[in-house]
Amino acid sequence: MKKISIMLCLLLLLVGCKKETNQNNSINKNDNTNTTESNSTINENESTTYTYEGTDGDYSAKITISKFTDEDIQEIKETYGENSDTYLSLSDDRPEYIAKTYVLYTGEGIENIQDEEMLSVTLSCNNEKISTYELNSEKDIIGALQGKKNISELYFIYNDKERNIIPDENSHFKLEANSSKNNIINFNIELENSK
- Band of the pLDDT at 5, cuts 50, 70, 90? low
Would residue 106 count as lying in a domain? yes
pTM: 0.71
Would residue 112 count as lying in a domain? yes
> What is the average pLDDT across 154-181?
89
CB atoms inside a 10 Å sphere around CB 106: 11
Would residue 36 count as lying in a domain? no
β-pairing verdict for 97-105 and 59-67: antiparallel
Specify the higher pLDDT residue, 163 or 72. Answer: 72
Specify the higher pLDDT residue, 172 or 117. Answer: 172
- Model confidence at 34: pLDDT above 50: no
Q: Which residues are 63's β-sheet partners?
A: 52, 101
The boundaries of the domain holding residue 92 are 50-193
Note the pLDDT tens digit of each residue in 80-127. 999 999 999 999 999 999 999 999 998 877 665 766 778 899 999 999
- Model confidence at 37: pLDDT above 60: no
Would residue 187 count as lying in a domain? yes
Would residue 155 count as lying in a domain? yes
Would residue 9 count as lying in a domain? no
Would residue 37 count as lying in a domain? no
Confidence at residue 178, expressed as pLDDT on a 0 to 100 scale: 87
- Band of the pLDDT at 77, cuts 50, 70, 90? very high
Q: Which residues contact 137 (CB under 8 A, 6 or more apart)?
A: none
Would residue 108 count as lying in a domain? yes
Mean pLDDT of the chain: 79
- Band of the pLDDT at 26, cuts 50, 70, 90? very low
Confidence at residue 15, expressed as pLDDT on a 0 to 100 scale: 45
- Model confidence at 45: pLDDT above 60: no
Based on the structure, what is the number of domains in the chain? 1
Specify the higher pLDDT residue, 141 or 31. Answer: 141
In three-state form (DSSP H/G/I as H, E/B as E, the rest C), the secondary structure along 53-120 is EEEECCEEEEEEEEECCHHHHHHHHHHHCCCCHHHHHHHHCCCCEEEEEEEEECCCCCCCHHHCCCEE
